[in-house]
Amino acid sequence: MRIRDSLGRMSRTPPSLLDRPRGVRAAPQLPMSRREMAQLGWDQCDIVIVTGDAYVDHPSFGMAVIGRVLEAQGYRVGIISQPDWRSADPFRALGRPRLFFGVTAGNMDSMVNHYTSERRIRSDDAYTPDGEAGRRPDRAVTVYAQRCREAFKGVPVIIGSIEASLRRIAHYDYWSDKVRRSVLPDSKADMLVYGNAERQIVEIARRLDAGESVRAMTDIRGTAFMRSGVPDGFAEIDSRDIDTPGRLIKHADPYAMQSGNACQTRPTGEEAQRIMSRALERGHTVIRLPSFEEVRDDPVLYAHASRLMHLETNPGNARALVQRHGNRDVWLNPPVIPLSTAEMDAVFGLPYSRVPHASYGKARIPAYDMIKHSVNIMRGCFGGCTFCSITEHEGRIIQNRSEDSIIREIEQIRDKTPGFTGTISDLGGPTANMYRLACKSAEIEAACRKPSCVYPDICKNLNTDHTPLIRLYRRARSVRGIKKILIASGLRYDLAVESPEYIEELVTHHVGGYLKIAPEHTEEGPLSKMMKPGVGSFERFRELFEFYSKKAGKKQYLIPYFIAAHPGTTDEDMLHLALWLKANRFRPDQVQAFLPSPMATASTMYHSGRNPLKRVRRRSETVFTPRRRKQRDLHKAFLRYHDPANWPLLREALRRMGRAELIGSGDACLVPAASGRRRHRPRRSFPKRHEKRRR
């Protein structure tokens, strides 16, 4: 693939993760205390990673991956896990790092970790010992970075993780219901790394170790940083010249820079053409997005900026982006070059102990319990579902491990993981069946700007051959000591139906009675806003699932997942979905309401009321979104039409919608009529607020 660097030129060879110094001695686990450092013979850490998760030395935990990758490069890496953020003292626990602090909120965005889709506080935290809630702050990246800065003045602070990735530019924040600034100026970090950060973090470490200033590192892919103005020689393209949204309010001239380094007026006429032509010939281009202040105040410009950012995510053709925040710019370099299979193997082949840090004793970490017997076989997703942020974080180019690497990890689980009984709980990734699927042409892949390879239909240039995955499943099942291999990752059923042989393999050997699958909806309105296939693909998959289950002599069932209150969903859409569920005898147990995560395209729809999947205009398509609590509750109630607790709300809605014929006892009815009898209210088992509790 031809990859261009942040200046538009052909990139120099990126740092390889295969280049390692000889004689590097791996620690049994990365140290979390001075005592452990002393046992390793260290007087100082080169790098200290601060994380919002419990430290689990396993390749499914980001801090462990980054720590082990840096260790393999010869650096001494320490971990500060879930420090008390109310003081800078816990951030001094391992002393002053020689090179930098690496800050991560953990495997989840801290706000998603803390709050439900209805903004209720969660009662537990799966990434904390014994599931204890409240061990990390809201907006953990920002808080941790500020404390690191307080702890040791002058030490560079590099922020990362999915929380930083999805907040790298001005973004809509559901929990405060407003557009917030990039996390960079709020955290006062020196640099942000977005996406899977192995390649960036190794280059940063090497260049800091060589004496280079972090502020001079402006050419590293997959990074963002603050700067004043655009350097000389760049052609600055206003995003509104690429994708004009039209003008409703008078916007400030984006070329009227306040910095002394920038031009004070926008070039015009022949002069502008000469500058643009000369810069384009050298490949020095940057796209200026509307400023934070503009997207904060103008939802249409917010949708426009979101659309442009998503169009610049292919590492083969993406250009640098810049967005003004006050008197300075947030500069985003193009995405990082994906890891090769050999590099993926190297990352997953590092000497992880595969268990939580010894300091936790016998405490149970729920997230570890879920993944300790699972294997991640790939990264990335080209599905482009608008409610999901995987593509914005990991990219849409699939990065695959080799069969040998995967088999070695299965053997390690068998030999090293406590309590292993012979069942691998998952062999997957962001999507279960995208392993080794890619564009048939590297040239087409490098030039493509489509947000999805499978919507509205599967691209004719996409290779959908599942043979490598079938071969992997068969080889994995043959490993000595392995009794069962389950597939728990989300399955892309529109791809699966392209390979009936894969469905037969899956159904015959890798389903433990139930298979979770996510059609998300049945109606075209919401499906078009989700970029999900029509229900016909699901029906075809279900036919094949049931056929091959019967052929294998097994009784197996699909568990479909649906989203309530997604942008583009009306009450009528939810009613039709409920009727479809009833007709197909599906009774969803758990129901998920749409949660607008930062940077997701559907979140842009939720905030702006516009559809950024199309060119955004002042009078372009608007998107209705259920925002009121009562309507969101109603949409969830339609999914659980069988729950008596929801019947009063559904009866009221059906009458209002003119569908009272669906209330009654007939087969075509959705909910029964009210009995007319008052329901018995159980006696209170707890004292009223004004009563004193008995001691």
Residue 401: per-residue pLDDT: 98
For 672, half-sphere exposure in the C-beta direction (CA atoms, 13 angstrom radius) is 8
| Chain segment 25-79, per-residue pLDDT in tens | 899 999 999 999 999 999 999 999 999 999 999 999 999 999 999 999 999 999 9
pLDDT of amino acid 477 = 97
d(CA 539, CA 523): 14
* Mean pLDDT score across all residues of the chain: 90
Name residue 320's beta-bridge partners.
286
| pLDDT of 328 higher than 60 | yes
Q: What value does the mean pLDDT take over residues 336-354?
A: 96
Reduced to 3 states (helix: H, G, I; strand: E, B; else coil), residue 491 is: coil
Radius of gyration of the chain (CA): 26
What CA–CA distances, in Å, run from 338 to 20, 378, 398, 627?
A: 19, 11, 8, 38
Q: What is the pLDDT of residues 91-140, one digit of tens each?
A: 999 999 999 999 999 999 999 999 999 999 999 999 999 999 999 999 99
User: Model confidence over 150-179: pLDDT tens digits?
Assistant: 999 999 999 999 999 999 999 999 999 999
pLDDT (0 to 100) of residue 95: 98
Q: What is the mean pLDDT of residues 365-374?
A: 97
- Set out the domains of the chain in order of their start, with CATH numbers: 234-321 (no CATH), 369-662 (3.80.30.20)
Q: Is the pLDDT score of 691 beyond 80?
A: no
Q: Please report the pLDDT score of residue 251 as a whole number.
A: 37
Number of continuous H segments (helices) and E segments (strands) in the chain: 25, 21
Q: Where are the beta strands (DSSP E) in 240-332?
A: 285-289, 320-325, 328-332
How far apart CA 685 and CA 680 sit, in angstroms, is 15
Percent of the chain with pLDDT over 90: 83
Find where tokens 């919608």 sit: 657
Whole-angstrom distance, CA of residue 567 vs CA of residue 564: 9
312-327: b (≥16 Cβ within 10 Å) or e = bbbbbbbbbbbbbbee
Residue 347's pLDDT band (cuts 50, 70, 90):
very high
pLDDT at 3 over 60: no
**What's the pLDDT score for residue 693?**
37
pLDDT of residue 21: 79
The pLDDT of residue 538 is: 96
The predicted structure's pLDDT at residue 332 = 97
- For the cut 50, the answer to whether the pLDDT of residue 525 exceeds it is yes
Query: Exposed, middle or buried by CB within 10 Å (0-12, 13-18, 19+), for 437?
Result: buried
Give per-residue pLDDT as tens, 253-276.
333 333 333 333 444 445 545 544
Average pLDDT over residues 491-517: 96
Classified as helix, coil or strand, 600 is: coil
Contacts of 211 (CB under 8 A, 6+ apart): none
Q: How confident is residue 243, by pLDDT bands cut at 50, 70 and 90?
A: confident
CB atoms near residue 346 (< 10 Å): 20
H, E, C per residue of 344-393: HHHHHCCCCCCCECHHHCCCCCHHHHHHCCEEECEECCCCCCCCCCHHHH
Residue 208 has pLDDT above 80, yes or no: yes
DSSP string of 394-434, one letter each residue: H-SS-EE--HHHHHHHHHHHHHHSTT--SEE-EEESSSTT-
User: Span 389-410, mean pLDDT?
Assistant: 95
3: Cα within 13 Å, side-chain hemisphere: 20
Pair 190, 214: CB distance under 8 Å? yes
HSE of 94, CA atoms in CB hemisphere, 13 A: 26
Nearest Cα to 385, choosing from 523, 532, 520?
532
Exposed, middle or buried, 189 (CB in 10 Å: 0-12/13-18/19+)? buried
Q: Sorting pLDDT into bands at 50, 70 and 90, what band is 677?
A: low
pLDDT given at position 47? 98
Q: Please state, in angstroms and rounded to a whole number, the distance separating the CA atoms of residues 155 and 314.
A: 33
* Span 568-615, pLDDT tens digits: 999 999 999 999 999 999 999 888 899 999 999 999 999 999 999 999
